Amino acid sequence: MYKAKIKLNGKEYKGTLTFATIKEIQEVLETDFEKKLTVTQIFEALEKKDLIVISTFILATLKELNKEKENEIVRDFAEDGQDSLEELENKFKKMITYVNDIFKKCMPLNSKKEVNKRQFVSLNEESGDWEYDNLEFLWNSILKRNNNFLDITPKNFFEQVNVYKKANKIQDEEVVIG
């Protein structure tokens, strides 16, 4: 599994970005902040440094690997960087570094080693969002994977899609992994 690290309030935590995490981020943003965002809109909000989206993203990715420490993570996240403006600035820099790191480790990259946004154009035309059911169907039926679709990272998913395309001589733009 692909993981990123962040230090909060003197403690190091690891996080990952799975399909389940992405769904949770959407649900928390909609329920707690009345922000109904598509996955693409979440990625755009992260690029624009939207603090609500960044905070929700970080907490959800950390919770994925630390379910038993959820309250501790929230407390450390809230308390980190409260002593001075300089510490607050450092916290913000750490947050951005963590988001960038987790994207590099958990998302498919294009040939320029950037997140391959083209990879996510198979959207639901009505909502403009990812069709998790279709992706899961592809994972289980076409790729014949038996592990839980929601527990994998988008990078895992597209690695397997590339292997399938290569094995079946399907020509398409390759996703560079790593």
Task: Give residue-wise pLDDT tens across range 89-143.
Answer: 999 999 999 999 999 999 987 655 556 554 554 445 556 678 888 899 999 999 9
Structure tokens at 30: 């909609």
Structure tokens at 9: 């309030």
Half-sphere CA count of 142, side-chain side, radius 13 A: 16
159: part of which helix (H) or strand (E)? helix 154-167
Q: Which of 55, 45, 44, 109 is nearest to 78 (CA)?
A: 55
